Amino acid sequence: MSEGRSFHQVILRPVSSEKSYAAMGALNKYTFACPPGVTKIQIRRAIEEAFPEQRLSVTSVNVVTVRGKVRVRQYRRGQGSRLTGRSPDWKKAVVTLAPGQKIPGLFEGV
């Protein structure tokens, strides 16, 4: 699948937000979080091959690179005692399916 990568190496999780729910209902677009090294073609293949019984056809894939946030923790012990860290970068993939198609089991019961 997808040039030696499994589905879980290409698609990390679905993104659940109000904006993604609205796009899923009205525009037939699904939003997923992906690692920064994957391409649009790998995302398309992973979605199409993950649900073979539904025969999903992906119309388009749009990708946004989301930069990780800088986190700062401060301690009370003295001057200059603080730790800085960073959350990892990730890609947000917006997958558009053909009209009338749905991904079964995704966000059901939410």
Question: Into how many domains does the chain fold?
Answer: 1
Question: 110: burial class by Cβ within 10 Å (0-12, 13-18, 19+)?
Answer: exposed
Give the residue ranges of DSSP H helices in the chain. 7-10, 18-26, 40-50
Q: Which domain holds residue 18?
A: 7-97
- Does the structure show a pLDDT above 90 at 8? no
pLDDT recorded at residue 53: 83
Average pLDDT, the chain: 88
Question: 30: burial class by Cβ within 10 Å (0-12, 13-18, 19+)?
Answer: buried
Q: Residue 90: which CATH number?
A: 3.30.70.330
pLDDT recorded at residue 82: 80
* Residue 1 located in a structural domain: no
Interatomic CA distance for residues 35 and 10, integer angstroms: 7
Residue 93 has φ and ψ, to the nearest 5°, of -110, 125
* Residue 13 located in a structural domain: yes
* Residue 17 located in a structural domain: yes
pTM above 0.85, yes or no: no
Rg (CA), the chain: 18
Interatomic CA distance for residues 14 and 60, integer angstroms: 17
